[in-house]
Each structure stands twice: as structure tokens, then as C-alpha cells.
Amino acid sequence: MEALTAAVGAGLYAAVGLLYWFLGRRSESLRFFEDAALSAAFVVVVHVILGVSSQIATLAGVQLNLWSSADVSACARRASETFWEASRKAVDTVLFVEAERALLASTPVTSPLASVLGGATGWSTAELGIVAIVYMHLSFAAEAFSIVSPYLFAFGAALMPIPRLRRLGASLLSIYLSTAIAMAYSLQVTSDALRGVRVPSASSPLDWVNVAGVAGENAVLLGKALTLTSLAFALATVGGVGLASAFDSVFVGFVRV
């Protein structure tokens, strides 16, 4: 789709250039011929950039086919489901802790233990509360990206070779590439963390005794994953701006050549 759109754009520039040529307006026609040539040549540049971005993703340990917006969309949907699972497990862990505290506080004999448990799990429940909220919103964002990513790729790659629309195309393609890599990396680190997360079970006496340890371990695992996820998206934001600038620099260099 994107190659066809770029080819149509190049053809339109060439057609307008021919029209001006036959009308005797040679300077204007040469400008449109130049735009047509740049449109055709920049299709190659777009494919080179996609290839380089795929190599960067591979070096980051992310297996993602950036050439296929369908694969990227599927990855974003998996990320949405994984982020939601992380949020739910954080919530379930906090609910178990609070349920045990309420149970301990219900009798005079065990009520002092409720305060002890609150002190032992205060930091972990606070951390898990943050994890639950942030991962919930990341799940919504990933679901939205799974819908718009094919359009970002198609329009970005299609518009970028067209000189008068290259800035818009570069911005769309930069958002697609940087967000896709960050999303895939975040999916990977969160999935790794979830393999070690265990929600306490009411049927397990050991979990009632060691609830502070379980909550603490879950908080560390999910907190680390969330930190890496946040870092990935922060770098993606900066990288997206850098990619757009790089695209513009490549275009300027192309014109000078």
C-alpha cells in the first residue's frame, strides 16, 4: 500500500512536470521532475530505515517484524493483555493482604498482629497500588496502539517519500517504529516478571503466614518490570523525536546530492 501510494505521488509530480514543460514553463516543470525523482528514490530510504530499526530491535533482544504492521498490531494486543494481567495480579495481592489484616483486626486476640502486618506490607502494597494503576493505563494504551499502528505505518511510509508531505510522514513513521519497539520490549520484561509472580491463595496456610514475603516479592518483580517499561517508553519518546530529525537530515542530504 505504502509503495503504491508513493509511486502514485511520484507519477503525479511527473505528470504535472510534463504539463508545465509543454506549456513552456520549464523552470516549474524541472522542479516537479525533481520532486518525482526524490519521491521514487526515497522509497528506498524508507525501506533502509525499516531495516536498520529491525536490527536495533534485534540488538535489544526484541523479536519483532517491523515490516509487518499486522505483526506489530498483534504484539500490541498481547502487550495489552499482559499489562492487564500484571495490573490484576497486583490488585489481587493487595486485596489478599487487606483481607488478612481485616480478619486479624476482627478479634481482640489477633488485632495487634493486624498492625504488625500493616507495617510489614506497607511498602509493598503501596508499590503494588502504583503498579496496578500504571499497568492498567498501559493496557488501554497498548490496545489503542494495536488499532492505529497499521495506519501509522501505512500513511507514514507512504507520505514520507512525497516531498511536500515528508515531515508528516516522518512523524507518523517515527511514532510507529519507536512505540512498536518499546511495546515489544515492555511485553517481554513484563511477561518475564509475571512468571515469578504468585498471588496468595486463601487455601494455602503457608500464604497466610508468609503473606508479607509473597507481597514483597511480587512488588519487587512487578516494580522492576514497570521501571524498565517506563524507561523503554521514555526512551521511545526521545527516540521518536530523534528519528524524525534523522529522517529530515537524510532528506536534506539526499537533496544536496
At 234-245, the pLDDT tens digits run 988 887 676 666
Task: Give the pLDDT confidence score for residue 47 in this predicted structure.
Answer: 67
Task: Give the pLDDT confidence score for residue 254 in this predicted structure.
Answer: 43
pLDDT in tens, 121-155: 889 999 999 999 999 999 999 999 999 998 888 78
Instruction: Show the low-confidence residues of the chain (pLDDT under 50).
Output: 251-257
Query: Which residue, chain included where needed, has cell 494481567?
Result: 85
Task: Give the pLDDT confidence score for residue 197 in this predicted structure.
Answer: 93
pTM above 0.85, yes or no: no
What does pLDDT average to over the chain? 81
Task: Give the pLDDT confidence score for residue 229 in this predicted structure.
Answer: 94
Q: What are the sequence ranges of the domains in the chain?
A: 43-256
Task: Give the pLDDT confidence score for residue 252 in this predicted structure.
Answer: 45
pLDDT in tens, 203-226: 888 878 888 889 999 999 999 999
Query: How far is the C-alpha of 156 from the C-alpha of 180, rounded, in Å?
Result: 14
- Contact call for residues 202 and 96 (beta carbons, < 8 A): yes
Query: How far is the C-alpha of 213 from the C-alpha of 92, rounded, in Å?
Result: 15
- From the list 181, 142, 189, the residue with the least C-alpha distance to 55 is 181
- Contact call for residues 83 and 219 (beta carbons, < 8 A): no
